[in-house]
Structure 1
Amino acid sequence: MKKQFATLCLATLTTCCFAQQNLFGEQPPLSPEVHSDHSVTFRLMAPKAESVQITGDFLPTQKVNTPYGEYDAPGIADLNKDANGLWTFTTKGSLKPELYLYNMIIDGVKVTDPANVYAIRDIANTTSIFLIGGNRADLYKVNKVPHGTVSKVWYDSPTAGMTRRCTVYTPAGYETSRKKYPVLYLLHGIGGDEQAWTELGRAAQILDNLIAKGKAEPMIVVMTNGNISQEACPGETSEGFKVPTMALPKTMDGYFEQAFPDVIKFVEATYRVQKDKGHRAIAGLSMGGFHSFYISINNPDVFDYVGLFSAAIDRQQQGGLDTIYADREQKIDKLFSMHPKLLWIGIGKTDFLYKNNADLRHYLDSKGFKYDYMETEGGHIWRNWRIYLTEFLPKLFK
């Protein structure tokens, strides 16, 4: 018995020592390292690797053709290996203030930076991130300001025939206030989900900072899952750990637009909100801009504020609810006859959806309908969508 006890103690001690070694062992090289001049060094210890590269949106872009059109993809650069097997790359010159995304490519395999614990999922890809503060990018940081609450909330959608999830931001002070708040419905792009705007878009940080500065009205923001065939984001549904994909059914065929009143009904029954057109806004990026456009023109008396961020105008799927997309120009006319306070359009100069948005603007101009327009550098990228959100929010509920 004593011998068995001694053996057990030895095994336990060995396990603990192994765990301690992992915890307090050799630290990985610092990566990324942001220097005072805003250049950045990336490092990877991989003595046996034959090739290490880095790809990220801080590098010059390259054109890529996809089934959805041609767009700008992150560039690629080589890391240099020293005699100890340490691979290194330093950017040439300073990087502008921004939230940047990147991956390492080790012998042809794309991975997150092993030395960087900060990463986010974008559809089926996991990407490392770093932030260089200053100017607009300070809005993307967690600053010492009052913070809102971000909740993952389940609601019943009878139209979709399932219980679904949305992300809801309530501003600082909501829990202790009796005030009723305006609502922004903020929609993601194709392949995204109800977590996209808080993860990739930094929506909560942007809202906290703009509200604290007095540049945006305190508001509730509802970030839905725009894939009407899904309960919620991948890995957090009854389907289990299903592989994320962009190839989802019923994304742009009218069924999400048809079911959207279920979301509004839930929000207005659950939260302290102002339930009138002047205190409702809807906006979205890409597919979410497509949804925002068609929801607003099919419900012209519901929203006074509409934001189209790189909107996928004219990209509807065939065989869906054609009534949602029929008579588009007449529906636009009807929307403007209700005198909306704001239609806001943003698009990148090299966005593959540029012409679609230009065609929409041409019709609006021909009718003399007023709208705000912002054109930025670059294409169909989160960098632009974060900019658009920071420009759109201060214009709401004035």
Structure 2
Amino acid sequence: MKGTYLLLLLIGLFATVSNAQQSLSRAPQLVSPEIHADNRVTFRLLAPNAKEVHITGQWMPSQGFTTVSKAMAKGDSGVWSFTTDVLPSELYTYSFSVDGLKTNDPSNAFVIRDVASVANFFIVGGTKGDIYNVNKVPHGSITRRWYESPGNRMTRRLTVYTPPGYESIKATYPVLYLLHGIGGDEDAWMGLGRTSEILDNLIATGKAKPMIVVMTNGNIAQEAAPGEGSTGFPKPTFMLPQTMDGKFEETFGDIMKFVEGSYRTQKTKAGRAIAGLSMGGYHSCYISQNYPNTFDYMGLFSPALNNKPEDHPESPAYQNLDAKLKKQKDNGYKLYWMAVGKDDFGILLAGIQDFRKKADAIGLKYEFIETEGGHTWANWRAYLTTFTQRLFQ
């Protein structure tokens, strides 16, 4: 009797699983995104009851922070579709809007967070896309490390990339401190920035020296990225307290002390670089002024130099800046590199121009690159790719 019961149970279970599999197989197996051989891309979404569906993607023109959306076409089966023109090799993000409600692509499991927005992404291979892809090359390691920051009275987190072979080759390595923009955190450069992929691929081809990359959290009010600290799961915020008031600059020594005490680093000026995007470019500018003879390489990517340190005269980091900048010039360095998109925000471009006039007045040598595009990750990935090839040569 017991054997008969077990047999019936197994038959019932098999029938249930079979029905479930059949139900799954009846659903349309949509391919989205579909990257065609000519680099056009087709997107598809099953929404038979929707009245209108739009797609917004980073390849589309933007107005400030807003990207213009495109209508998708509805087919007889209730599948909406949209095909792009030929896209240049690049990483792109996108999302759908169904009757005004933003949603991600259920056929694409790959998503990425930028501040509080989550979007799907894909990579069109070729030139830039191949540098941003995971390729069959030796890979570095990524670790999230907690360090004591006495200056901020808390334990904080940062992200560290160590190059291929770090664990087995007992050598010392130069360090690039890489800073995020406003609203970002220690995960930003790993996500949309593709830092580990870029470094792996450049190091493998001999275009960049093996280096350690330390990706910090410039939001002094945070222990770590949202959802990664003891405060639970707060909604990511674009603007946090104490982001550009001098405190990050004042306490940056806590970070360097931890890194140089925990990793096999080259503890020399020639073995240190600092760079950042937007707010991180602002931080890089003033950190390098406040730590004389510490960095031989500075990289300012679309730096938010329109923000004025004199608005925080109480901060020691922002006092006597003219004298600090001149001392930085007199100390010497190997590379001071700035880049910005010509379509970036006017107020930001004006701030960069003001800083360049100040640098020119005292004879501070720098390289300035103006590219196409605006305040975008497409530019910052490209800047990182170029800048890292100039380091530690």
1:369 aligns with 2:361: no
1:33 aligns with 2:38: no
Q: 1:283 aligns with which of 260, 275, 285?
A: 275
Deviates more, 1:71-80 or 1:7-16: 7-16
- Counterpart of 2:55 in structure 1 is 54
Q: 1-side partners of 2:275 and 2:215: how far apart?
A: 10
Identical aligned residues as a percent: 52
Alignment of 1:154-173 (within 5 A): 154-173=146-165
Structure 1 counterpart SS, 2:165 = coil
- Counterpart of 1:131 in structure 2 is 123
Alignment of 1:90-101 (within 5 A): 90-92=83-85, 94-101=86-93
Distance change in 2, residues 1:275/1:104 (3 Å): same
C-alpha deviation, 1:316, in angstroms:
4.8
C-alpha deviation, 1:74, in angstroms:
2.2
The one-letter code sitting in structure 1 at the alignment partner of 2:166 is Y
Distance change in 2, residues 1:338/1:37 (3 Å): same
Structure 2 counterpart SS, 1:151 = strand
C-alpha deviation, 1:235, in angstroms:
1.0
- Counterpart of 1:68 in structure 2 is none
Deviates more, 1:276-285 or 1:15-24: 15-24
C-alpha deviation, 1:112, in angstroms:
1.2
- Counterpart of 1:378 in structure 2 is 373
Task: For structure 1, list consecutive stretches of 5 or more residues without a partner in the other structure.
Answer: 64-70
Distance change in 2, residues 1:155/1:50 (3 Å): same
- Counterpart of 1:76 in structure 2 is 69
Alignment of 1:70-219 (within 5 A): 71-92=64-85, 94-219=86-211
1:387 aligns with 2:388: no
Distance change in 2, residues 1:253/1:18 (3 Å): farther
Distance change in 2, residues 1:18/1:220 (3 Å): farther
1:360 aligns with 2:355: yes
Number of residue-to-residue matches in the alignment: 389
C-alpha deviation, 1:47, in angstroms:
0.2
1:236 aligns with 2:228: yes
C-alpha deviation, 1:323, in angstroms:
2.5
C-alpha deviation, 1:247, in angstroms:
2.7
The one-letter code sitting in structure 1 at the alignment partner of 2:77 is N
The one-letter code sitting in structure 1 at the alignment partner of 2:302 is S
Structure 2 counterpart SS, 1:356 = helix
Q: 2-side partners of 1:385 and 1:312: how far apart?
A: 13
The one-letter code sitting in structure 1 at the alignment partner of 2:169 is S
Question: Is the CA contact (8 Å cut-off) linking 2:93 and 2:122 kept in structure 1?
Answer: yes
Deviations 1:198-239 (A, max 9, x none): 111000010001111111110000001111111111111111
C-alpha deviation, 1:368, in angstroms:
2.4
Question: Is the CA contact (8 Å cut-off) linking 1:253 and 1:316 kept in structure 2?
Answer: no
- Counterpart of 1:348 in structure 2 is 341
C-alpha deviation, 1:256, in angstroms:
1.1
Deviations 1:48-83 (A, max 9, x none): 01110001111122x2xxxxxxx3532210001122
Question: Is the CA contact (8 Å cut-off) linking 1:148 and 1:172 kept in structure 2?
Answer: yes
Structure 1 counterpart SS, 2:190 = helix
Deviates more, 1:374-383 or 1:356-365: 356-365
Structure 2 counterpart SS, 1:244 = coil
Q: 1-side partners of 2:102 and 2:175: how far apart?
A: 40
Question: Is the CA contact (8 Å cut-off) linking 1:168 and 1:221 kept in structure 2?
Answer: yes
Q: 2:327 aligns with which of 316, 321, 334?
A: 334
C-alpha deviation, 1:84, in angstroms:
1.7
Task: For structure 2, list consecutive stretches of 5 or more residues without a partner in the other structure.
Answer: none
C-alpha deviation, 1:327, in angstroms:
2.5
Deviates more, 1:358-367 or 1:384-393: 358-367
Question: Is the CA contact (8 Å cut-off) linking 2:95 and 2:104 kept in structure 1?
Answer: yes
Deviations 1:236-280 (A, max 9, x none): 111112111113111111111111111100011110111111100
Deviates more, 1:24-33 or 1:277-286: 24-33
Question: Is the CA contact (8 Å cut-off) linking 1:255 and 1:320 kept in structure 2?
Answer: no
Q: 2:213 aligns with which of 221, 246, 267?
A: 221
C-alpha deviation, 1:23, in angstroms:
6.0
Q: 2-side partners of 1:245 and 1:346: how far apart?
A: 26
Distance change in 2, residues 1:320/1:119 (3 Å): farther
Q: TM-score, normalised by structure 1?
A: 0.92
Q: 1:324 aligns with which of 303, 317, 325?
A: 317
